[in-house]
Amino acid sequence: MRYALQIRPSALKELSEVQDRDRARIVKRIDSLADDPRPHGSEKMAGTGREYRVRAGDFRVIHSVDDGARIVIIEKVGHRGDVYRRR
């Protein structure tokens, strides 16, 4: 059973600022999270309750998973050098 995807408005804004070529790769990766919210290669973020990160080329997608409600929430999208900075 697929998980529902929710994208925070701030993450949607970050995604809109990415170049088209990279955006397509990121959107494909986000869509795949609905089938497998913790795919091979994803890592749990240190110091957070339920946030994970997945790679999409030079970009990272930070997301949280609510298994009870079957929802994946996209928290942040950004370049690997910028995405880990405090919000």
The token pair at 72 is 């994946």
Edge-to-edge, what's the strand order for the sheet holding 51-56? 4-7, 71-79, 59-66, 51-56, 43-44
Query: Residue 49 belongs to a domain with what CATH number?
Result: 3.30.2310.20
Looking at the structure of the chain, the number of domains it has is 1
Q: What is the pLDDT of residue 86?
A: 64
User: Considering the domain boundaries, does residue 84 fall inside one?
Assistant: no
Task: Decide: 9 and 75 in contact? Cβ < 8 Å.
Answer: no
The pTM of this model reads 0.88
Q: Residue 44 is part of which domain span?
A: 4-79
Q: What is the mean pLDDT of each run of 10 residues along the chain (87 residues)?
A: 94 94 94 94 83 93 94 94 73
Instruction: Say how far apart CA 56 and CA 65 lie, in whole Å.
Output: 18
Paired strand residues for 54? 61
Instruction: Say how far apart CA 64 and CA 6 lie, in whole Å.
Output: 10
